[in-house]
Amino acid sequence: MLSLAFFIGVVLGIVALGVTASYIGRLFVRWSYEFALLTAIFSAGAGVLALVPRLRERIWRPEIDQRGGLSGAFLYGSIFTFATVTTGAGPLLLLLTITAAIGKPLYGAMLSLFYGFGRGLPFLLMGIFAGRVGAWLARMETARRVAEIASGVALLAIGVYFFWLASKIG
């Protein structure tokens, strides 16, 4: 039950981020040059962070106090994405950049929902099958790094695209 509460918190936290990014994208569409330039800088910076793990090690990570019970597991799950943004930044920032650029909250919610399921499912499975899943997760470290590299390259490409777009607008 604790794993399920954590999982639901993770999914809802990511959906909230996606919807928020969509609304922010809608807000900044009036300032298309500035939005394109800020998105380019943000995406390129996130891409560099995803590609260079040593840079992420220098980013401050907050201490997280433990809480008990279902509500604590839910709360921790809902803020988990914020607290671990330096370790899973690439795919999440790519998702948020896309949802902000498109600016459709329902689309942002759906995209975030599916990402949230993918992000939270390993934790749910680990809670259910704690002993068996531990060995499997150790083998997945390589796949995690491959996903970080792919996300970093995609973020850099989006950054270049938005720099190009800003140069056409401005």
**What's the average model confidence in pLDDT over 59-75?**
67
Percent of the chain with pLDDT over 90: 0
**What's the average model confidence in pLDDT over 74-96?**
70
- CA 156/CA 154 separation, integer angstroms: 5
pLDDT exceeds cutoff 70 at 45 = yes
Q: For residue range 147-163, list pLDDT tens digits in order.
A: 778 877 887 888 888 78
pLDDT exceeds cutoff 70 at 56 = no
Nearest C-alpha neighbor of 160 from the set 33, 55, 39 = 39
- At residue 117, the pLDDT reads 85
